[in-house]
Chains A and B, each alone.
Chain A
């Protein structure tokens, strides 16, 4: 029974979501029929199941038959994910850049509306291109290395042992989780890169509201390459989650390593007395840097523990 589950899963996981449940039912019916025609036994032996599944052939090919195979840059398997990720990212870029630039301009008024608009449209354009290029490139690679596309080999060496385990509900990563993660990462990336001034602490003195920026912008700007590499690590992590769809041991360990790297980088870059922090924020709020690194560290440790536990569940 376990073999049948794994076989059917290995076929339907390659098919569009909306067809899965019916093809699942259909395949189980077919396998049962094929078993019945081989043996009258109501509980067929593993050997008989194996013979029938091997006769049905490689799951990837069966799935190809169901899809009507074709060669794609980004095929039906990934297309929906591609479009939804692109939609989210472009939305985040648009909103993030708009907010970021609007804030920048309200602190440093531009020379003319025309200059402001040109800069705005220019950065929107280049950011959109970046997103399109990276996302399309990533998905094209995934498509290329997925079993659907290259049909170069004549003989397949597929065996029943290649069947993946059916994922447990508990180890699945809900798809909105990485998408939200990517959204926030991009948002903070945009703010730190384009408008770090908006991160600040407001205080009332003599009836006037003044905002003290959290960072020394000049120092921050020098540290941007390192900070951006932190964000890049976070993005890689989220893409991995989308790709695997569940906490596999490999993904959980990779995630933990990335988290450790992130904590290390954060400790190196943001020590409490570093010049990157604006020294002029009120003494009451001097704790913020320490709190920031601590919160990041605790959050990442919890995240690592959480995914390792889920991956351990899968191993059982």
Chain B
């Protein structure tokens, strides 16, 4: 049981990694800082660890998909991230890819389930 749970955990992490990128890009049409992004995604049901979100934001910025500005006006300086023009283009295309992939995977696993008798 715990072995299955461990393996499932690892597989789920791999699955979520790419999905989270999609979710993050989707929220950044207007600027947000890291922790507010954690909260908005969480409110929509997508749980993200801050410990992986912050590095992810930096990586996406490094790839040129995000632009960032430090807001030092408030008591606590915060780094705000927003989609760059490149990011907008990549996001739009990634959404298209996601829909295709999702429906494909749906078909594949629907077939697999009935063949292997998992849906008894």
- Residues in chain A within 8 A of chain B (CB atoms): 23, 25-27, 29-30, 32-34, 37, 56-57, 61-62, 65-66, 68, 154
Contacts and interface: CB of A to CB of B under 8 A. Distances in A.
Given A29-B77, A29-B78, A56-B51, A66 B6 contact: no
Contacts of A61: 51
Contacts of B49: 57
B72 to A, nearest CB: 10
B52 A65 contact: yes
Given A26-B34, A66-B58, A154-B6, A32 B52 contact: no
Contacts, number: 45
Q: Which of B33, B50, B59, B76 has the most CB of A within 10 A?
A: B50
A27 B34 CA distance: 10
In the A-B complex, list the 9 residue pairs whose CB atoms are closest, starting with the nearest. A33-B35, A65-B55, A66-B55, A62-B51, A57-B51, A56-B51, A65-B52, A29-B78, A32-B76
30 contacts: A23-B58, A25-B79, A26-B34, A26-B54, A26-B79, A29-B35, A29-B76, A29-B77, A29-B78, A29-B79, A30-B34, A30-B35, A30-B50, A33-B35, A34-B35, A34-B50, A37-B35, A56-B50, A56-B51, A57-B49, A57-B51, A61-B51, A62-B51, A62-B55, A65-B52, A65-B55, A66-B54, A66-B58, A68-B55, A68-B59
Contacts of A62: 51, 55
A137 to B, nearest CB: 31
Contacts of B79: 25-26, 29
Q: Is the interface of B mostly helix, strand, loop or mixed?
A: helix
Contacts of A66: 54-55, 58
Contacts of B6: 154
A65 B53 CA distance: 9
Nearest to A19: B58
Contacts of B78: 29
Contacts of B55: 62, 65-66, 68
Contacts of A56: 50-51
Contacts of A34: 35, 50
Contacts of B58: 23, 66
Contacts of A27: 54
Contacts of B35: 29-30, 33-34, 37
Given A33-B35, A57-B49, A66-B54, 14 more contacts: A25-B79, A26-B54, A26-B79, A29-B33, A29-B77, A30-B54, A33-B33, A37-B39, A56-B51, A61-B51, A65-B52, A65-B54, A65-B55, A154-B6
B106 to A, nearest CB: 30
A62 B53 CA distance: 10
A56 B78 CA distance: 18
B76 A25 contact: no
B8 to A, nearest CB: 13
Nearest to A59: B51
Contacts of A25: 77, 79
A66 B56 CA distance: 8
